[in-house]
Every structure is written in C-alpha cells, then in structure tokens.
A and B are shown apart, each in its own frame.
Chain A
Amino acid sequence: MIRGDRVLFKDVCVVAPMRSTVTLRGSNGTGKTTLLRILAGLTRPETGAVTRNAPHHWIAHREGLKPHETPRQHLALWARAWGSEADIESILQTMSLARPADVPARHLSAGQRRRTALARLLLDKRPIWLLDEPFTALDADGRALVLSLIEDHCRQDGCVIAAIHGDAGFEATAEVVL
C-alpha cells in the first residue's frame, strides 16, 4: 500500500479463519486503519487481493452517526437497510443505551456514541467483524461488554479482526505487526 510517495506496508498477509481473533498492531501512522479499510473493500490495495467469504461488520473511528440521530433511530435505520429483524429494544438494553436511547447524537458522550456504533454488531449476524480501535472512549464497563461480545462472537463461529492499541484484553489467535 502506497500513500503519497511512501510505501505504507507491503507483503502483508492476514488470514482469519472461523473462531479466530486477529489483532493488528503498530504505532500511529503505520497503516492499521488503512489495512482494515482494504479488508473491508473500501480502499483498493496497490497490489494483492482480499477474499471475504462472508458478510462483515465495520466499526471505525467515525461512527457513522448523524448529529440529529438518536441511538434508537440509528439502529432502526440500519436494521431497515440491512433487512434485519433484530429486537432494537433488547440491543439498547444490552449496550446500556436504554437511558440515552432518544437523545440526539450531538448531545451524546463519546462513549455513548461508540456504544451506539458497536450496537450495530448485534443488528445483523455477520461472521466477520472488522473493528478499528473498538475500545476507544469506552469506560471499564463498556470495555468488558465489548470483550464479552467478541468472545461470544468467536464461540459462534465468527472471526474478529481488530486494530488495537495497548492491552487487547483478549487472547488473540494471531497478531499482525505493521
């Protein structure tokens, strides 16, 4: 992958089988997010290819929340877009978003916005999760919640590829260092 006249990374191979967690590691600016975007099909790699044999979820720094959107509206919108029939109320409960469920995103805290974005993971069952710094802005409870989501997901034959800084908090099957 080339950014400007600099080779960001090369010869990277990420394989994520069922029930695996792959963490992408590296200091700031080494291309963790770019690699995730390539895996998601958003950015085209200079060479090489990505094969995804199952649908995926995408949670990134920019949460995809509109300023006027409430968590409930956000989940309802994406449930509609993805044709999901998940129970939004119970997802809000799980993510501890029941109280701010009707607050527009511009009044939500960074952690609540993150929880709303992460709640999308529960809307639709998709085997591949692509997570960019999933713990950013989350408190201890939120962290534990996301960890348990990741564990459950892996147990149900899913796989997680996450760019993570610092302590992951879970046992990664493989680590890609950029």
Chain B
Amino acid sequence: MTPKPILAAFGQALAEAWAGGAGALLPLGFFAGAAVLVPLGIGTDPDTLRAVGPGILWVALALSSLVTLERIFQADTEDGTLDLWLQTEAPASAIAAAKTMAHFLTAGLPLALLSPLLSLMFLADADATLLVHAAYYAIGGLAFYFWGGVGAALSATVRRGGLLISLIALPLYVPTAIFGALAMTDAPGSQSAPLLLAASALFALAAAPFAMAAALRLAAD
C-alpha cells in the first residue's frame, strides 16, 4: 500500500474547499448566526445566558457540520472522480478518511476557533477556559464530521440528500454531544467527561472510515 493516493485525495479535497470561494465560510456564518439568534430568543438575563451558552454552541456546531457535508461525496459521484479513487491502490476507507479530514480542517476547525468569541457573547469569563473549551469543540467537531461523513457517503447518490444526512448522522452525534456538554459543567462526572469526549472522537475516527468505504462502494455499484 502506498500513501500517495491518500495524500492526493487529501490535497484535492483541500483545493476543492477553497476553490468554492465563500464555500468554506458558509458553515462559519451558519454557526455564528445560530449562536447570535439564541440570546435574542431567550432574553438577556446574564445568569441564563451563562448557563445555556456552552450547550447552544454544541447544538450550533452539530447543525453547522451538516451544512456542507452534503457535497463532499456527492460531487465526486456526479463527476466520476469517485470511480477513479475507488480504482487506486489505496483502500477506499483511507481515501474517505482523508477527504473527511480535509473537510473537517477547512469547515469544522474554523468553527472551534470561532467559539471563544461566541462564548464571550454568552458572557463566559474571558480566561483560559475559553481555549480549553475551544479544544473540546474541535475534538467534538472531529467526531461530528466523521459521523456526518458516513451520512454523506450513504446519501451520495441521493438528490438533495441533506435531510437524509441529518437523519443518519444526528443520532450518532449524541454521545459526543453529551460528553462535550458535560465536560463544560461542574456536574458530577465532569472530570472524566473530556476523556470520554476524546474517546467518542477516536471511536468515530476508527469506525467511520470503514462505514464510509462500504457506502461509497455501494454508491459506485
């Protein structure tokens, strides 16, 4: 096995994300927009905002991850690139993982980097915990994007499959969302929550590529 096709697939996915112009900014705008709307809806009571802030950001992160996932495998199916990738020497799971990772880096990681700013809007204290929380969002986002990738691969041949992706992926987001939100509270069990959050992301990294590969082979068949 040679890593060359995998690196090439990663490079192509990165190039594709930036070639779309504002395409990479779309989830960022969605994330910020969703987070900005909430204080308008629930009022400006500082205690309430501080309490719901982290949870709102987890929900916004989960939903933003779904905004661009629809295209990552669908475009490849339509233009014939998928057929070419499936005929390279590299395993389809590695190709799928490389593409999803590239997508996470261009669409998901920026969301985590933006999160401290949005946390401040929810009146979080401006201290180092903001950065710790950003790291949690990044780890959780990784799990979201890999599970979302499974949904994207399964609906690669479905026109307007965005809704289908949500139906497939959102249930898989649950453990990550639970541990991620728990890690940001003082509730019992919050000490071990970061580890469980990381475990859920590692599990997604390990399992999702194989599910994506099987789904893509089915899409090409």
Partner-B contacts on A (CB < 8 A)? 37, 40-44, 56, 58, 60-69, 73, 77-78, 80-83
Contacts and interface: CB of A to CB of B under 8 A. Distances in A.
A128 B220 CA distance: 21
A26 to B, nearest CB: 21
Max chain B C-beta neighbours (<10 A), residue from A58, A62, A65, A73: A62
Contacts, number: 68
A42 B80 contact: no
A64 B87 contact: no
A56 B75 CA distance: 24
Nearest to B83: A42
A81 B79 contact: no
Consensus secondary structure, chain B interface: helix
30 contacts: A37-B220, A40-B83, A41-B87, A42-B83, A42-B86, A42-B87, A42-B220, A42-B221, A44-B221, A58-B83, A58-B84, A61-B80, A62-B78, A63-B79, A64-B79, A64-B83, A64-B84, A65-B80, A66-B16, A66-B19, A66-B75, A66-B81, A67-B19, A69-B15, A80-B7, A81-B5, A81-B9, A81-B88, A82-B5, A83-B4
Interface residues of B, number: 24
A77 B12 contact: yes
A78 B86 CA distance: 13
Contacts of B86: 42
A83 B220 contact: no
B46 interface: no
Nearest to B84: A64
Contacts of B16: 66, 68
A60 to B, nearest CB: 6
Interface of B: 2, 4-5, 7-9, 11-12, 15-16, 19-20, 75, 78-81, 83-84, 86-88, 220-221
Contacts of B87: 40-42, 56, 58
Closest 8 CB pairs of A and B: A62-B80, A68-B19, A81-B8, A64-B80, A81-B5, A80-B8, A64-B84, A64-B81
Contacts of A68: 15-16, 19-20
A73 to B, nearest CB: 8
Contacts of A61: 80
A81 B2 CA distance: 9
A58 B86 CA distance: 11
B91 to A, nearest CB: 13
A41 B85 CA distance: 12
Contact of A80 (B4, B20, B80): B4
Given A42-B87, A81-B4, A81-B5, 15 more contacts: A40-B83, A60-B80, A60-B83, A62-B78, A62-B83, A65-B79, A65-B81, A73-B15, A77-B12, A78-B8, A80-B4, A80-B8, A82-B88, A83-B2, A83-B4
A130 to B, nearest CB: 9
A76 to B, nearest CB: 9
A34 B174 CA distance: 40
Max chain B C-beta neighbours (<10 A), residue from A42, A60, A78, A81: A81
A69 B12 CA distance: 9
B4 A82 contact: yes
A112 B85 CA distance: 22
B24 to A, nearest CB: 13
